[in-house]
Amino acid sequence: MAARTGSAKREKLFSDLVVNGALFLLVLLWTIPTIGLLVSSFREPFDIATSGWWTILPHREWVTVGEPIEPPRDVPRDQPVEVGGVSATFDEFRAGVTSADGQRLQWIGNRRLGNVEVQEQRWTTRTDFTLENYQNVLTGKRYEVTQPDGGVQVEQGRDMSGAFLNSLTVTIPATVIPILIAAFAAYGFAWMNFPGRRMLFIMVVALLVVPLQLSLVPILRDYVRLDLNGTFLAIWLAHTGFGLPLATYLLYNYISGLPRDILESAFIDGASHFTIFTRLILPLSVPALASFAIFQFLWTWNDYLVALVFIGAKPDTQVVTMRLADIVGSRGNDWHLLTAGAFISMVLPLVVFFSLQRFFVRGLLAGSVKG
């Protein structure tokens, strides 16, 4: 018996190690890109362009020492030339030639005007951090534009404040409206008897398999006829329609699992369906409501395709995802601005998730256990 107990404990310990190790590995794989994004958002543009974010950690790197050596100018570049006691061709110097004392000679520049730098491998870190990236994203970066007459004009770029307000204008109603409609529908499917209830619920669940992209063009045509395209109302209705099937199904599972005795007591006391819904169902359904609110908020906040189709990419209606795409498209070399803007756009979804995450698991498990 003791041997069997010890064997069971070892098996449980081994299974726990495997599960926890796998979870740790998954968390690490998901966390490393986020850490890289955060570190890059504080780095200088030159450092981002010439090295990876992991170079902030101690590492060995070739560092220039001493003054550059000027190579002979009268020797053809397709022939070997002697520099610093090392004879090599231009292409070899361009790739870097290691001397006998461990130093590296590397040609910097072009064939005609280049010099040779002497480099040594040393332990170093690249920790030149700055807050200017976030300042440029939040307030707009200044650009110097050369005029035809040779003058230089400084222009102020657009900041992300307008895009944040537009994203909030889109996300908050697109989260609240489907929750309210789905809660009413879920209560009706769960506790009200009416003809065709089962068939209607099956149709709602069947809408979960309809691809979002399949409905964009038909809805866009209807919006054009109704003169709704390009307005916030259009995207509110679109996100409401796309989110209602899942919201109804999720809330139905939770509401149908509430104790029947509570509702029957309320009916005996003369309460109407509306009173029961507002006084009992909504307060008891907070975990399911919060769970769907997290999903819907994240989907709407991070949406690019639906917003681009229904409200367009005009500067006064751009959302955060469009603004980030605009930074990539028009200033693709400004990765320091893109990383800072991307991390700023993550702050609000993280706040929403961690504020409601205590309800998250309870909402996901809604209706999974009966009896």
pLDDT of 301 reads 92
Q: Read off the pLDDT of each residue in 26-40 and give the average, rounded to a whole number.
A: 88
Q: Are 230 and 311 in contact (CB under 8 A)?
A: yes
Instruction: Say if residue 51's pLDDT is above 90.
Output: no
146 within domain boundaries:
no
346, 243, 167, 40: CA torsion to nearest 10: 20
pLDDT of 169 reads 92
Same domain membership, residue 222 and residue 248: yes
Copy the structure tokens of residue 131. 């807050």
Q: How confident is the model at residue 211 (pLDDT cuts 50, 70, 90)?
A: confident
Same domain membership, residue 322 and residue 226: yes
313 within domain boundaries:
yes
8 within domain boundaries:
no
Question: Which one-letter DSSP state was computed for residue 305?
Answer: H
Total structural domains within the chain: 3
Enclosing domain of residue 207:
161-364
pLDDT in tens, 85-129: 677 777 777 777 777 777 787 777 766 677 777 777 778 888 888
Same domain membership, residue 194 and residue 119: no
Q: How confident is the model at residue 360 (pLDDT cuts 50, 70, 90)?
A: low
- Selection from 366, 339, 281, 303 nearest residue 35 by Cα: 339
Instruction: Say if residue 173's pLDDT is above 90.
Output: yes
Question: Which one-letter DSSP state was computed for residue 181?
Answer: H
Q: How confident is the model at residue 369 (pLDDT cuts 50, 70, 90)?
A: very low
Question: Which one-letter DSSP state was computed for residue 317?
Answer: T
pLDDT of 202 reads 87
138 within domain boundaries:
no
Same domain membership, residue 39 and residue 74: no
**Least confident window among 49-63, 117-131, 153-167, 290-304:** 153-167
**Least confident window among 23-37, 107-121, 192-206:** 107-121
- Where among 25, 57, 89 does a domain terminate? 57
pLDDT of 294 reads 87
- Where among 36, 57, 78 does a domain terminate? 57
Same domain membership, residue 95 and residue 46: no
pTM of the shown model: 0.73
User: Residue 246 maps to which CATH number?
Assistant: 1.10.3720.10
Select the more confidently predicted residue: 258 or 364.
Answer: 258
Same domain membership, residue 292 and residue 225: yes
- Selection from 191, 171, 151 nearest residue 284 by Cα: 191
Q: Are 271 and 208 in contact (CB under 8 A)?
A: no
11 within domain boundaries:
no
Question: Which one-letter DSSP state was computed for residue 43?
Answer: B
3 within domain boundaries:
no
78 within domain boundaries:
yes
Q: Are 98 and 104 in contact (CB under 8 A)?
A: yes
Residues sharing a CB contact under 8 Å with residue 95, sequence separation 6 or more, in sequence order: 106
Mean per-residue pLDDT of the chain: 79
Same domain membership, residue 311 and residue 270: yes
Same domain membership, residue 120 and residue 26: no
Same domain membership, residue 37 and residue 105: no
Q: How confident is the model at residue 79 (pLDDT cuts 50, 70, 90)?
A: low
Same domain membership, residue 348 and residue 213: yes
Same domain membership, residue 101 and residue 44: no
CA distance 291 to 355: 11
pLDDT in tens, 247-265: 898 888 888 888 888 777 8
133 within domain boundaries:
no
Same domain membership, residue 209 and residue 66: no
- Where among 29, 57, 85 does a domain terminate? 57
